[in-house]
Amino acid sequence: MPDPILRTRGVTKAFHGIPALADVSLAVERGEIHAICGENGAGKSTLMNVLSGVHPASSYEGSLEFDGRTVAFRSVPDSERAGIAIIHQELSLVPHLSIAENIHLGSEITRMGVIDWERTNQHAAELLERVGLSESPATKVRDLGIGQQQLVEIAKALAKPVRLLILDEPTAALGGADSDRLIALVRHLRDQGMTCIVISHKLREVLDLADTITVLRDGRTADTIRRDDADRSEGRIIRAMVGRDIASLFPPRERDIGEELLRVEGWTVRHPSDHDRVVVDHADISVRAGEIVGLAGLVGAGRTELALSLFGRSYGSSASGRVFKNGVEVRLRTIDDAIRHGLAYATEDRRRLGLNLIGDIQKNVSAAALERLTRVGLVDELREHKVADAYRYKMNIKAPSVRAVTGSLSGGNQQKIVLAKWLFTSADVIILDEPTRGIDVGARYEIYGIINELAAQGKGIVVISSDLPEILGLSDRIYAVAGGRITGETLRRDATQELLMSLIGAAGSVG
Ligand SMILES: Nc1ncnc2c1ncn2[C@@H]1O[C@H](COP(=O)(O)OP(=O)(O)OP(=O)(O)O)[C@@H](O)[C@H]1O
Ligand SMILES: [Mg+2]
């Protein structure tokens, strides 16, 4: 007997007259894991924001039913009182506060008007145990890895009387082991009776985890796939998402590898505040023209720190080692130095480092390459517009125009703008840090195509990715990184997933 805990009927919502959700009717069964899939901009987060009161009932058409009652949330606290908690796509913890403080932010445990720290910490410790995080509640959130932060977010949600837990791309930023841990936790919560909605672009994960899968396409429900359906496949999800089959995940490419562009020798970097800690340890890497080099490793292996410190010392302290550009030793002391010497670095942390969220798409795309658009001291706005529009078309960026405010775009579409910004620079060595994080399968293919095109133009590309199939599908040559060191180097044709897993120290931890 179906027993939905949540039902939406005809939910329709537009932003400035542009439809984001159109007549969405969704039924989530009590105690199930319900996955939502769809292209970037399909309306997944918007639908979740409707369910959790981020978008108040007055801002959309249609109705919600929760636990057998019609509800009209006016705010997030409204939905929380009903028993719905959401963990957003972009985590919202306060870095300089402790785990316990973050968990109880907004729902402080007080005694006679004063925060009761003993009970706060004790309650936090219980919640941490429930999510399987063995950290002291007093630990500052900034000292946690992203996987641990995600667990704190769940602990925070569980501090409230939650019966429906919504997770918006919880594993997007996680590597193998962290991701496995989170998935096990979601299953465990489900087995204890919690209903969970999970948004994800990782289709294998979705098929494995979800009882029911709803696919949204252009704000509409395109397909619903149940546990016992005969066809439960990636192919079916993709067809519903993009309306066609995708034969291969990686576009074909002609390789033409030339001279060495960048060589780094003995690169060593210490932690910015904890100077005894060596974060990058005597790394030697090189990139040739036309070559795609993969940096494989687990989250936290030191790959981002290596890239950031090379990119004008944007990370760490007392960086040492030698850097050669086109055979000549160079010093890259600032980001300007790095850009002048032809380096680009597209960040994995789009909200903090990558984008001006209040600026429009056009300004963001041109921001790192204004010299390419400037004539006699003036930015040629017409060309700027054309360039941004070409990327919008090529990468299928979902926005009404390149004048749209970047912060109003869906997560995956913001990620595409970070890439466009750095792909448009005149750099000849481009470091891409987790380039397809949160990007749907269709758009991923387009982005791989652009990466291939840049290599064909003779640029050297470094791809940092925690997704081994992506590293294997794209790279010509692969470095394995673990504990801040290069632990191995292999040509693509000699590499296997097993070899890389053992080199990055993941053997046995990833399924
Ligand atoms: N606050 C907002 N203002 C204007 N437009 C918005 C706002 N929030 C979402 N949109 C638009 O609504 C559409 C759906 O966005 P949504 O964030 O729901 O997509 P999504 O399916 O979660 O995509 P992704 O996989 O990239 O996270 C997009 O076109 C987006 O630009
Ligand atoms: Mg989203």
Q: Is the pLDDT confidence value at 351 over 80? A: no
Q: Are 460 and 435 in contact (CB under 8 A)?
A: no
| Average pLDDT of span 1-12 | 90
**Residue 413 alpha carbon to ligand 1 centre in Å:** 8
DSSP 3-state of 145: coil
Residue 365 CA to ligand 1 centre (angstroms) = 19
Predicted pLDDT at 474: 95
Q: Give, for ligand 1, the residue of 46, 52, 60, 417 to mutate: max count of ligand atoms closer than 8 Å to Cβ.
A: 46
Q: Which atom of ligand 1 is nearest to the CA of 16?
A: 4
pLDDT band at 510 (very low <50, low <70, confident <90, very high): very low
Q: Nearest to residue 350, comparing CAs of 420, 294, 298?
A: 420
Architecture of domain 4-242 in this structure: 3-Layer(aba) Sandwich (3.40)
SS3 track for 351-374 = HHHHCCCCCEHHHHHHCCCHHHCE
CA of 34 to the centre of ligand 2 (A): 16
Is residue 2 over pLDDT 70? yes
Rounded Cα distance between 15 and 88, Å, is 19
Cβ pair 53, 74 in contact under 8 A: yes
* Ligand 1 atom with minimal separation from the 39 CA: 25
Q: Residue 511: pLDDT above 60?
A: no
| DSSP-assigned beta bridge partners for residue 478 | 294, 490
352 confidence band (pLDDT: 50, 70, 90):
low
What's the CA gap between 336 and 315, in Å, rounded? 14
Please determine, for residue 509, whether its predicted confidence score (pLDDT) is greater than 60: no
Q: Average pLDDT in the 279-294 region?
A: 96
Could you identify the atom of ligand 1 that is nearest to the CA of residue 398?
A: 29
Q: Which two tokens stand for residue 29?
A: 């069964």
What does the H/E/C string look like for 40-73? Answer: CCCCHHHHHHHHCCCCCHHHCEEEEEECCEEECC
What mean pLDDT is predicted for residues 452-468? 93
- Candidates 57, 475, 73; CA nearest to 291 is 475
Distance 49 CA to ligand 2 centre (A): 10
Q: Which residues contact 94 (CB under 8 A, 6 or more apart)?
A: 101, 102, 105, 141
Name the region of 418 (left: φ>0; alpha: ψ -120 to 50; beta: rest): alpha
Please give the mean pLDDT across all residues of the chain: 90
Mean pLDDT of 73-89: 94
Protein residue whose Cα sits closest to atom 28 of ligand 1: 41
Q: Which of 45, 198, 410, 444 to mutate to test the pocket of ligand 1 (most atoms within 8 A of CB)?
A: 410
pLDDT for residue 107 is more than 80:
no
Q: Contacts from 387-390 at CB under 8 Å and sequence distance 24+?
A: 387/424, 388/361, 388/362, 388/420
Report whether residue 41 contacts ligand 1, using a CB cutoff of 6 Å: yes
∠ at Cα 92 (200, 156), nearest 5°? 85
Atom of ligand 1 nearest to the CA of 219: 14
> What does the pLDDT average to over 440-445?
88
Q: Is the CB of 38 under 6 A from ligand 1?
A: yes
Percent of the chain's residues with pLDDT above 70: 97
CA 412 to ligand 1 centroid distance, Å: 9
Asked if 269 contacts 327 with a C-beta cutoff of 8 angstroms, the reply is no
CA dist., res. 359 & res. 418, Å (int): 13
Q: What is the DSSP annotation of 70-87?
A: EE--SSHHHHHHHTEEEE
CA distance to 70, 218, 344, 420, per residue, from 390 (Å) = 46, 22, 20, 10
Nearest ligand 1 atom to the CA of 410 is: 17
pLDDT tier at 92, thresholds 50, 70, 90 = confident
* Pocket flag, ligand 1, residue 46 (CB < 6 Å): yes
Least confident range of 1-5, 219-223, 248-252, 254-258: 1-5
DSSP states along 254-276: -----SEEEEEEEEEEE-SS-TT
The pLDDT confidence band at residue 47, using thresholds 50, 70 and 90, is very high
- The half-sphere exposure of 72 on its side-chain side, counting CA atoms within 13 A, is 7
3-state helix, strand, coil in the chain (%, to 5): 35, 30, 35
The verdict on domain 248-342+429-511 having CATH code 3.30.300.30 is no
Measured in angstroms, how far is the CA atom of residue 438 from the centroid of ligand 2? 8
| pLDDT for 240 | 95
User: Which atom of ligand 1 is nearest the CA belonging to 438?
Assistant: 25
- 4-242 and 248-342+429-511 share one fold: yes
Alpha carbon of 472 to ligand 2 centroid (Å): 27
**Residues above pLDDT 90, as percent of the chain:** 63
Nearest CA to ligand 1 atom 12: 20
Largest interatomic CA distance in the chain = 72
40 close to ligand 1 (CB < 6 Angstrom): yes
Which residues are CB-contacts of 113 (< 8 A; sequence separation ≥ 6)?
A: none
Give me the mean pLDDT over the 284-305 stretch.
Answer: 93
Beta strand pairing status for 460-465 and 220-226? unpaired
Residue 295, token pair as written in the block: 């940096």
- Closest C-alpha to 426, from 363, 378, 368: 368
Average pLDDT estimate for 460-477: 94
Q: For the chain, what are the domain ranges?
A: 4-242, 248-342+429-511, 350-426
| CA–CA separation, 409 and 405 (whole Å) | 7
Contact in structure between 290 and 465 (CB atoms under 8 Å): no
